[in-house]
Structure 1
Amino acid sequence: MPYSQAVESRVLLKRLRDTLAEAGAGQERLDRITQLVSSSLAAEVCSIYLRLPDDTLELCATTGLNPVAVHQTRMRVREGLVGRIADTAEPVNTDNAPQTRGFQYFPETGEEIFASFLGVPIQRLGEVLGVLVIQNQNPRVYTEDEVHGLEVVAMVIAEMAELGAFTGTSPTDPPAPHRGPFHTRGLIGQEGVAEGTVLLHDPQVVIANPVADDPTAEHARLSDALERLRSEVDEMLAADNLMSDGEHREVLNAWRMFAHDKGWVRRMEASIDAGLAAEVAVEREQSETRTRMARVADPYLRERLHDLDDLSNRLLRLLAGRDGISQDDMPPDAILVARNIGPGELLDYGRRLKGVVLEEGSVGSHAAIVARALAIPLVIQAERITREAMNGDRILVDGDQGVVHLRPEENVAEAFRAKVEMLAAAQEAYAGLRDMPAETRDGTRISLCMNAGLMADLPSLKPSGAEGVGLYRTELAFLVRRTVPRRGELVALYRRIIDAAGDLPVTFRTLDIGSDKVLPYMKRPEEPNPALGWRAIRVGLDRPGVMRMQVQAILRATESRPLRIMFPFVAQFDEFRAAREIVLAEVEREKRLGRRTPSEVKIGAMLETPSLAFAPDHFFKLTDFISIGGNDLKMFFFAADRENEMVRRRYDTLNVSFLSFLEQIVRRCEANGTPVSFCGEDAGRPVEALAFAAMGLRNLSMRPSSIGPVKRLIRAVDLGQARAVIDEARGSGVMSVREALSGWLKDTGAPGF
C-alpha cells in the first residue's frame, strides 16, 4: 500500500494522537505506536530505539522483530545503521540493508530476512533522542512521501517524549525527562561558586498538542506570527540607535532575509499540511538547522545558521504568546542558563544573578568579561545544559572547577554547600586583612590594585583592600552600547569612577578593541588572525579622532586631579611616542580653551608583546610607567591562543622561561627608573603572585575578589626564601617551578596549603 498523499499523514497523526491519549504505561504506548505505524505504512517491521543517558541506543519497542530483543538489543551511537542515523541525524533509506555501509547484524532481533530499511532520527531542537525504523522483506527504496511521513511521526514522538508520555514505573520504561540529576563539565569563565534556581534566558516552548486538527487554522497562526516577526525585525532596523552600520545590522539584515525566505516558510507550511501544529513545524525546521550547524566548519555559515536558529526561537515565542520572563519575576537566587548571551543582555540582569552557565562562549568573550567584572561565577561550554535545564530547577555552579550540577542529589548538594561555607569563612578571614599592608615577613611591601571595567566594580574598591585601580578597561562602555557613546556620556562616566575611587589612583587604559572585542556598531575587518591584527593602539592611531575624543573625555573628567592613562598592545616605541603626543596635545588644547587640566599627567604603556621588552632604553625613560599585560603576553610568548583549549593549558605561567623573561623586564625597568606592574588573571592566583613578587614585581593588579587570598599568602611568607626555592628549581633544569614552590609552601604551613 503506497503512502503518497499529505492527507494520509494527517490521518496517521490523528490516529497516533488518539493512541497516545489512551491510558497505559510508557511501554504500552510505545508498543501501540509501532503497531499503528506498521499497519499505516504497510511495513512488516516498525521499531523504536531510544537514546539512553550512557549514549547507547536501546530497542524499546517493535512490531515484526523478535519480541525477546526488546530492552536486550543495544548499540553505541555510530554502531550499525541505527547508530549511524543517531550520529548523523540523517535518514537511511536502502533496499539492501546488509550491503549498506555501517550495517551490523544483531542475531537476537531476527531482522536478517528484511532487505528494505528506512530509519529516521527522533530529534528535538537538533538533539537526537532515538531512531524510528520500518522494514520490509521485499527489496524496495521507500518513496520521498514515505520518508517524509516517517519523519513527521518521529517529530511527534520526540514532542511526546519531552512531555514524559513514555515514562512509567517499570524498570524498562525510559527515564522521565528533566527529572533526574544532570552533571556537565565545561570551562572556567569566572571563578566562584553558587547555588540557585535556573532562569532560562531563552525558555523552551513545551508543546502539549503536537498534532493539529485544523491545518487551515495552523497556517493562519503561522502566517500571523511571521508577519509580527517581520514587523519586529523591521522596527529594530529602523530604530534611531541602530541606523549606523555595524555587525548588529548584518545580523538583523540576515534575520530579515530569513524571515522572508520562501523556502524556509514553505518547509514549515508543508509540515503543517502533514498534520503538525505550527509550533512543531517550526521546531522541525529548527532541528534540521541545528543538525546542519553541527556539520558546518565555515564560521560565517555557522553564524548565519545561528541567526536562523535565533529567529526560530523568536517565532516560537510569538506562536506561543510568550514574551519571555519578566526580570521582575526573577527568582532571588537566579542562575542564568543560556546558549550564549551578549554583554548588554547580561548587564541587564546585573548583580541580581548568582551565576551564569553558557552552552557556548569563550574565556575571552564579552559575556565572560562582564561576568568577571560583576564577580559572577561563570561556566562556559557546558554541553547540553540548555536542553536539560528547565526554569525552576535547582542548580549548583562551581566556577572554580568548571562544573555544573543540575537537579543534584542531596549528597552532592551537601558537599557543595560545605565548600560554600568554607569559602565564606575564608572571605571573612580576608576581610580582616583589608586594612593591613601586603607585606612579606622579611619586610617587602607589595602594592595590590584591582582591575575594573564597569561602574558596578567600584563599590568593591575599598572593601577589597585594593590600593587603587591598576587597570580600568574603558572598552566595556563601548561594547555594551549599540552606538558610539557620546563624549559627554564618557565624561560623566569617568568622573563617577574617579569620584568613587576618592584619593586612590585610577589608571585608565584607552580603547582596547579588535581581536575578540568587536564593537557591535563597527564592521569587523576580514583578518586571517585577528589577535595579531588591527587592534588596540593600532586602531587608535589609524582612527585618531576616536582616540582624541576619549582622551578629551578622560581629561575633562579628571579636571584638576592626577591623571594616569596608558595605551594597550604597544609593540614598538614609535607607537607609544605617537599616542603620547596625542595626549599631550589634548592637554595643551584644554588649557587654551580655559578648562582645568590634571595636576599631574602620567602616561604609560602596556607591555603585551615580547617585542616591547627589547625596545630602546629611550622608551623606558620616556614612559612614566609600564604595566605588563599578562594575558596577552603569555599567549604571544608561548604562541598558544588562550581561546584554544587544545593548547592554552599546556603552558604554565610558572614556566622557567616565562619567569626569566619577566625578570628581564623588571631589570630593564629598574635600570631606567621606570615603575612596572603586572596586570592579568595570573596576578590574582596566590602562588603566581608570590612568584612574580620574587621576580622583582612590586605592584600587581587583579580582580577584587583575588586581593584577599593573595594578600594572605604574601603576609605569611619570607620572600627571600621563596626566591631561593625558585632559583634552586631553575638551576635544576625543571620546566616549571610550580611543584617546588607549592611543595615549599605546603612544608612551611602556608595558609591554603
Structure 2
Amino acid sequence: MSESRESESRKLLGRLRDTLAEDGAGQARLDRITNLIADSMRTEVCSIYLFRDSETLELCATEGLNAEAVHQTRLRIGEGLVGSVARTRRTVNTADAPSAKGFRYMPETGEEIYSSFLGLPIQRLGDTLGVLVVQSKEAREFSNDEIYALEVVAMVLAEMTELGAFIGEESALGALHQNPVMFRGATGQEGVAEGHVYLHEPRVVVTNPVADDPDVELARLQEAVNTLRISVDDMLSDVETKEKDQREVLEAYRMFANSRSWMRRMEEDISGGLSAEAAVEKEQSAARTRMSKVPDAYLRERLHDLDDLSNRMLRLLTGQGADTGAEMPDDPILVARNIGPGELLEYGKSLRGIVLEQGSVGSHAAIVARALAIPLIIHASKITTEALNGDAILLDGDQGLVHLRPEDSVAAAFRDKIAMQTEASKAYIDLVGKKATTPCGKTIALHMNAGLMADLPSLASSGADGVGLFRTELQFLIRNSVPKRGELATLYSSVMDAARGKRVAFRTLDIGSDKVLPYMKPQDEPNPAMGWRAIRVGLDKRGVMRMQLQALIRACAGRPLTVMFPFIAQFEEFRAARAMVDAEIENEKRLGHVLPTSVEVGAMLETPSLAFAPDQFFMEADFISIGGNDLKQFFFAADRENERVRKRYDTLNISFLSFIRQIVERCDAHGTPVSFCGEDAGRPLEAVCFAAMGLMSLSMRPASIGPIKNVLRQVNLDDIAEIINAAAKRGDQSVRTEIAAYMVDNGVTP
C-alpha cells in the first residue's frame, strides 16, 4: 500500500473516530459519516444501507443521492448491485454501473447520473450488517488502495453498528449496555429462571477501532502474537498426553499463530489506521467470509480453530473475556452464540438457564438442556453483543422471552410467576406415590424421558412409572471418538441399577439429521431430517449397532431388557433390526454370558408410513412408542427447525388427533402396547386429549410428570372424547379452545 494512501486512510479513520465520539442522535452520526467519506474519497456520493430485517436492506444515510429516499428506498437481498453485494459478501467495482449485471434503477434516489459504483459489505465475523457504497459521475474503476481504505472504514462501521452507535439518541457510546432490553427467541426447553449473565465465550468489544500511532499498535500486536505463540507451544509441550484430535487442533493453532501472511495483513491494517485489536478482528472477519465458502469440510472445520485463535488474540489485546478470570455468579444463566453438548455438560446443573443466539429445538445443546431440566431459549438474536458478564437477566422458556437488565416492575411480575410455579410444584409432592387415575376410572402410565445418569434421581422424585425413553446417543455426541463396548455396558448397567427395577426403554443410536457425531463425516444432504439418520444409519453401519446391542445385553446381567429402534419407516427395517437383536442374544449365549431374563423389542412410530404397515408388524413388535416430535413434522410437512412453519400447525388439530386414534386402534387390535413420547405429552391440554384418544401411556420430561398427573386425576376422559368427536362432526380444525374452556368450566388446574 502506498505511503500517501496509508496517510489518507489514517486521516479518514481519524475523522471517523471524531464523528463517532460526538453527541447526538444516531441518524446525525450516519449523515456526518457519509459526508466525510464522500469528501475523503473525492466522490459525489456515499450511501450506507443497513439491514432492516434478515431479507431487506434500507437506505439509512446518503451524501449525494436524494435526501427524500433515506428510509424510503428498500431492497431485497440479491436485488440490484447493492443487494448483490449483501448476498455474495463480495465487492462490486464497476465504471459503468447501469450496464453491470443485476443493476436495478431506483428513480427516487436520482442515481441515474452516476456512472462508477463501488459497493462492499459492512460485516463483522461473518455476519453482514449492511452495504457501504460510493459513486461518481466519472466513469472509472476504483483503485486497490481506494478499495482497501473503504474496507477499513466498513470494518469500523460494522463494529459501531453492533455497538448501537447508529440507533437512539444516546450521547456517543456512553449509554450502551445499560438500558433494559427484551429479546424474543424460541423455546428450546420450557421453564423460567432468574439470575445473572455468564458469557460462555465473552464477545470482545472493540471500542477503539481507530489508533493514532501505528508504531505503538504494531508493538502491541507483536507482543500479543509472541504471547500467543508461547502459550500454544506450552500446550504442545505435553503432546504425549494429548489425544490425536487434540494434537491436530493444537498443530493447527501453531500453524496459524506462525503464519507470516496473517501477520503481514494485520500489520497493513494497522498502517492504514486501525488499532491492533481492530486489525485482528478485520482479518478474522475476512477469513470467515473466505473459508465459509470453501466446499472442503476439513478446511471449513479449520475455521473454528482460526476463530478461537483470533479470540485469544483479542482477549490478550483488550484484557476482556475468559483470560481475565471472570467468575461464574451464584445464579448463572449462560449466554452464548452456540455451544456443544460436551461443553454444556461441563457446566452441569450449576446453570439456572441457557440463552443461545443460534441452536435449534433438536440440537445437541437442546437435548442436553432437556436432560438436565435447564430452561433454554434459542434464536435470541444479537444477545451476545448486548449482554455483559454479571448483567441481571430473566429467562421465560415458556414464552421464549429474555429480559436483560429488566426494570423493577418486570422483575417483580416475573418473580411472582416463579413463586406461583414453586408453590404449585410443592403440591405435586403429595402425588408422587399415587397413580394418574381419572374420575372415569382409567389409569394412565406416566414415564419420563432421560439421557444422562443425572436424570435418574428424577425417577423417584417425580413419581414416574419408569423411563419411557433413554436416549443413548448423548454418550456418543459428547466424545471425540466412538465409546468402547465395555464403557457403554457399565453405563447402561448403572442406569438399570438407578431405575431400581422400573422399566427402562433404551432407544438405540439416533444420529443423523441435526445430530452429527464429532467423529462422523457429515453428510451433505438437502433435507437431513428425511435423510440418512437413525435406524438407516444403524442398518448400514452394523458394526456400531452390534456393539451397542452387545453392551445392552451384557448390562442386563439377568435383568429384563427393553430396546426400541428409532425412525422405523417400514416393516422390513424393523424385521432386520430385530433379527440383529436375536443374533446378538444367540452370540452372547454361545459365549456363555448371562442373558436378560426377558427381551422386549419395540419401534418408534415417527413416520406416517409405519401406521399403515402390514398387520404382521403390529404382531411382531412387542410395543410401539409414538415419537410425537418427528411424527408431527412429517404429518403436517412442517420442518420443526423452521420457525416460520413449525408453530403454524396445532397438535390438537382434529386430523392429527384422528390419526393418533387410528394408530391406537391398530395397536389395540393386535394387543400391542402403545405410548406417546415427546414434548407434547408433557402439556396438560395435549396430554388429556391423547389419553382420550386411547393412549394409556405417556412419556415426558421429569418436571412434567407432577402437573400432568394432577390434571389427569381431575378430568373425565369421556367428556374430552365427546368434545373431540363433536368438533370433528362440525368440521372444526382444532379443539384447543374447547378443551381449554372445559378445563376452566370444571375447575381443572395444572
Say yes or no: TM over 0.5.
yes
2:382 is aligned to 384
Show the counterpart of 1:75: 71
Deviations 1:323-376 (A, max 9, x none): 726999211111111111111111111111111111111111111111111111
Structure 2 unmatched ranges of 5 or more: none
Task: Tell me how far 1:24 sits from its aligned partner.
Answer: 7.5
The Cα shift of 1:730 comes to 1.5
Match of 2:283 among 274, 282, 285: 285
Distance in 2 separating the partners of 1:147 and 1:58:
21
Identity over aligned residues, as a percent? 56
Aligned 8 A contact 1:49 1:131 in 2:
yes
Distance 1:59 1:376, change over 3 A: same
1:245-271 Cα deviation digits (max 9, x unpaired):
xxx98x999988877877655543321
SS at match of 1:329: coil
What is the Cα deviation at residue 20 of structure 1? 8.3
Query: How far apart in 2 are the matches of 1:85 and 1:582?
Result: 54
Quick one: which of 652, 665, 674 aligns to 1:654?
652
**Is this contact kept in 2: 1:51–1:130, CA < 8 A?**
yes
| Equivalent in the alignment of 1:268 | 266
State the secondary structure of the residue aligned to 1:652. Answer: coil
Matched-pair contact (CA < 8 Å) for 1:57–1:130: no
1:85, 1:131 within 8 Å by CA — same for their partners in 2?
no
**2: CA distance, partners of 1:165 / 1:671:** 67
User: For residue 177 of structure 1, what is the aligned residue in structure 2?
Assistant: 176
Q: In structure 2, do the counterparts of structure 1 residues 292 and 545 end up closer, same or farther at CA, with 3 Å as the change threshold?
A: closer
**Which residue of 2 is the match for residue 483 of structure 1?**
481
- Report deviation, 1:628: 1.5
Which residue of 2 is the match for residue 569 of structure 1? 567
**Could you tell me how far 1:499 is from its partner in structure 2?**
1.4
1:371-395 deviation digits (Å, cap 9, x = unpaired): 1111111111111112222222222
CA distance in 1, matches of 2:233, 2:525: 35
What do residues 108-142 of structure 1 show as CA deviations (whole Å, max 9, x unaligned)? xxx99999998877765566789988899988776
Question: 491, 494, 500: which one pairs with 2:492?
Answer: 494
What residue is the counterpart of 1:213 in the other structure?
A: 214
- Farther off after superposition, 675-684 or 268-277: 268-277
- Structure 1 residue 157 displacement after superposition: 6.5
Gaps of 5+ in 1: none
Shift of residue 651 of structure 1? 2.5
Paired residue for 2:11?
A: 12
Q: 1:42 to 1:568 in 2, by over 3 A?
A: closer
Which stretch has the larger CA shift, 694-703 or 400-409?
A: 400-409
Give the structure 2 partner of residue 431 of structure 1: 429
In structure 2, do the counterparts of structure 1 residues 32 and 505 end up closer, same or farther at CA, with 3 Å as the change threshold? Answer: closer
* Cα gap change, 1:3 to 1:45, in 2 (>3 Å): farther
Q: Which moved more, 1:186-195 or 1:117-126?
A: 117-126
Q: Is the Cα–Cα contact under 8 Å of residues 340 and 359 in structure 1 kept in the other structure?
A: yes
Higher mean displacement: 153-162 or 678-687: 153-162
Residue 235 of structure 1 and its aligned partner are, at CA, apart by 8.9
Between the aligned partners of 2:409 and 2:658, the Cα distance in structure 1 is: 46
Report which stretch shifted further, 311-320 or 361-370.
Answer: 311-320
User: Matched residue of 1:41: which SS?
Assistant: helix
Q: SS where residue 71 of structure 2 aligns? A: strand
Shift of 1:453: 0.5
Q: 1:488 to 1:449 in 2, by over 3 A?
A: same
Letter in 2 for 1:149: A
Is the CA contact 2:165–2:172 (under 8 Å) kept in the aligned structure 1?
Answer: no
Q: Cα RMSD (Å) of the superposition?
A: 4.6
In the TM superposition, what are the counterparts of 1:96-135 in structure 2 within 5 Å? 125=125
| Distance apart, 1:433 and its partner CA | 2.1
Residue type of the alignment partner of 1:387: T
Q: Give the counterpart of 1:224 among 206, 226, 230.
A: 226
- Cα contact 1:48–1:130 (8 A) shared by 2: no
Task: Report the alpha carbon displacement of residue 446 of structure 1 after superposing the two structures with TM.
Answer: 0.3
CA deviation after TM superposition for structure 1 residue 473, in Å? 0.6
Alignment of 1:114-513 (within 5 A): 125=125, 143-153=143-153, 155-156=155-156, 176-207=175-206, 209-210=208-209, 211=211, 212-214=213-215, 216-218=218-220, 220-221=222-223, 223-224=225-226, 227=229, 241-243=243-245, 266-288=264-286, 309=307, 312-317=310-315, 319-320=317-318, 324=322, 329-513=327-511
After superposing the two structures, state which structure 1 stretch, 306-315 or 602-611, moved more. Answer: 306-315
Read off the aligned partner of 1:359 and give its amino acid letter. E
- Give, in whole Å, the separation in 2 of the partners of 1:17 and 1:731: 69
Change (3 A) 1:256 1:19: same
Please give the per-residue CA displacement for 1:534-575, whole angstroms capped at 9, x wherever unaligned: 322232233332222212222222212222122222233333
| Partner SS, residue 595 of structure 2 | coil
Q: CA deviation at 1:171?
A: 6.8
Q: Distance in 2 between matches of 1:552 and 1:666?
A: 32
Residue 410 of structure 1 aligns with an amino acid whose one-letter code is D
* Larger mean Cα displacement after TM superposition, 172-181 or 182-191: 172-181
Q: In 2, distance between residues paired with 1:297 and 1:186? A: 31
* Residues 627-664 of structure 1: per-residue CA shift (max 9 Å, x gap): 12122222222232222223322322222222222222
1:205 partner amino acid: V
Q: What is the number of residues matched between the two proteins?
A: 736
Give the Cα separation in 2 of the matches to 1:584 and 1:253.
46
Check 1:731–1:49 CA distance in 2 against 1; reply closer, same or farther (3 A cut). Answer: closer
Residues 118 and 532 of structure 1: is their aligned pair in 2 closer, same or farther, counting only changes over 3 Å? closer
- Cα 1:42–1:621 shift into 2, 3 Å: closer
> How far apart are the structure 1 equivalents of 2:475 and 2:666?
34
CA 1:274–1:462: 2 relative to 1, 3 Å: same
Shift of 1:230: 7.5
Matches of residues 489-568 of structure 1 in structure 2 within 5 Å? 489-568=487-566
d(CA) in 2 for partners of 1:152, 1:587: 67
Is 1:727 aligned to 2:729, yes or no?
no
Q: Compute the displacement of 1:32 (Å).
A: 14
Per-residue CA deviations over 1:570-591 (Å, capped at 9, x if unaligned) read: 2333332332233233334334
